[in-house]
Amino acid sequence: MREVLGYVQYNSEDLLEEMRQQSERALAEGSISLDESQRLLQNYEASLSRYTYLS
């Protein structure tokens, strides 16, 4: 997936950092729990490493 994102001018590390920041804001606001935040980031990072039929 990271390779495909690169083809369309997206940096997977930037996307992950943005998701991390949004997760931290939601955690600070009480919108999500710490466990939810951790699972969200783990799943998001794992999805960036998955195979896609385009790569």
- Structural domain boundaries of the chain? 2-49
17, 43, 54 from 6: Cα distances, Å? 16, 20, 12
Model confidence at 53, pLDDT cuts 50, 70, 90, reads: low
pLDDT at 6: 54
pLDDT at 20: 94
Digit-coded pLDDT (tens) for 6-52: 555 667 788 889 999 999 999 999 999 999 999 999 998 888 776 65
pLDDT at 28: 96
Model confidence at 5, pLDDT cuts 50, 70, 90, reads: low
